[in-house]
Structure 1
Amino acid sequence: MSPWPWSVTTLITQALIVGTIAYRVRWVEAVIGVVANLLVSGTIAMLLPTARSAESVGVDLVVFTSTAGTLLATGIVLQQRRAIRVQLARERRVSEEERARRLVAEEKTRIARELHDVIAHSMSVINVQASSAPYRLADVGPDVRQEFEQMAASSRRALAEMRSLLSVLREDDRPNELAPQPGLAAIPGLIAAVDRSGTWINLEWVGEFGDEGVRQIVGLAAYRIVQEAVSNALRHSPGSHIDVRCTREPQGLSLLITNGPARRRGVPVPGGAGNGLVGMRERATSLGGTLEHHGLPAGGYVVRAWLPLDPKAPVDHSDERTDAA
């Protein structure tokens, strides 16, 4: 005689389904399902005629209830364990992100502090000395006075840029209040300022001039590359001739900065880590361009960069074949 009122395989299948439901849905819905199943099964057992005694039917009902209840509890426990693991993983990810943001903020604060202590103080001293020199020194001629005025103006511009940089590093949540960034149109002014310092420097511009039709980030990158290359020439090859050639084409902007060997003895420059050259390459490659630099056989150095005006423009290597000398 078969068990009440379903077969053994049916009871086992029901119990497994109960456990699966308890694992997949909310525990309240799973409990309601099991209770409803028991009520339906009990009602059917009472209404259907059977040769088995009520005691036997009750034993089968207890067995089914125990089996289903065990699997129900197991499914609920596994479901809660899974939910806890997901929550822990989420909290761990949030904690890691917060830690990363905190480390970045601490590093930016450290950099800002070091920039202020190492550079801003020195530039302030230079500015004060250059501004007060015509009044402190007797018999200062007009040419020397003009030199001091230019030194003071350059130091003030450097301090202004430094304050903007420090404000970005220290105040992430404050809206940016930066001055307009230099672009292509500012390159002649940069060359003129170097020329006024007594350095022989020449600018050759080929193609359309100005920032019209040029993305701001491209113009800024071009200005900074020229600025860094010229600064390197001034530091490492004092008195050398510097040639700057900017070629604007429909596809991109080509920059060629060449300096000859040093013509006079300058102040010794401490060995640097090459961060300026790395920064120039990062600026170029971040825009999809290229940058290369190398020494010349006769002495001097060359920096060659190509910046695409269109982000999807193919990289042009034609300038790499240009004779740097």
Structure 2
Amino acid sequence: MMTLKDCINPLTLQGNPLSVAPMMDYTDRHFRYFMRQITRRTLLYTEMVTTAAIIHGDRPRLLGFSPEEKPVSLQLGGDDPQELAECVRIGTDFGYDEINLNVGCPSSRVQNGNFGACLMAQPDRVARAVEAMQQATHLPITVKHRIGIDDRDRYEDMANFVRVVSGAGCQRFTVHARKAWLQGLSPKENRDVPPLRYGDVYRLKQDFPHLFVEINGGVTTLAEVKAHLQLVDGVMIGRAAYDRPYLFAECDREIYGENTTPLTRHQVVEAMLPYIEYWLSQGLSLNKISRHLLLLFNGQPGSRVWKRYLSENTHVPGAGVEVILAALAQVPPPEMAGLTVSNI
């Protein structure tokens, strides 16, 4: 059985079957540390960070993370091969386990920078970028993309994209099983309006058996994860990971085969307290971390009072861990609520 040490080895990341999607404004370092109290094995991602931000910005703030977050992948947004290569070298030095190129974001701001989903129309450019990135590191370079964009949404278009980009050295493709409309739909609408086409992703795996193909889009339960894993190599979960983070409590055992007992929700909160105290001592506001904990008890007795208490009190100047403890005291523990870990 693989150990945690095995899991954070860059070579084994190619075989990591479960991940939490990179999500802007959500998957920051505090969310990732929180998720690590729930699952030790799932691959986590940063928010997308643009090459310009890394080259010209505050790198420790943008790229810093705790060792406990590993394995963690840095997602880059950009299209210039040399700039991407420079950022890959920087990300490697920061200690990331994998570098991912965003070819899936449809926002107008991203399009104006000529990166994200619009790059699916330029597979040769993506291939040049991937080649430059791969030459800059020993880490795996991976790509996250859509099944298509606008009217370029035939299976053959996606297959050609993967064929060209894999020829440059990319071996792992995470496919959001929806096309993206670059005009007329917001990023939020692009996550819901275009229909899911899982069959195209399954076919991609059949046609490229030597590549690691990961499916993304609409996955909300571990049962669905297991079903997808019969047909592809990996599953990425997005919004459900934020809306129901405790969904991942069973994944180390159910997906990775570990003989471990997950922390209860109460224990997860207690495990976060030293981390919260440290960041408060560094001048961080409590709500910068507590916002990620709001949905931990989603669907459980006491969830509403937990969310309300945190929402009303964590933004107050000087608020500390006593606010977290006071909120937790109002939530019945599992043994009182008649709950089990599997009741998620």
> What is the TM-score of this pair, normalised by structure 1?
0.23
Greater helix share, structure number: 1
Structure of greater Rg? 1
> What is the TM-score of this pair, normalised by structure 2?
0.22
Relative contact order, higher structure (CA 8 A, sep 6+): 2
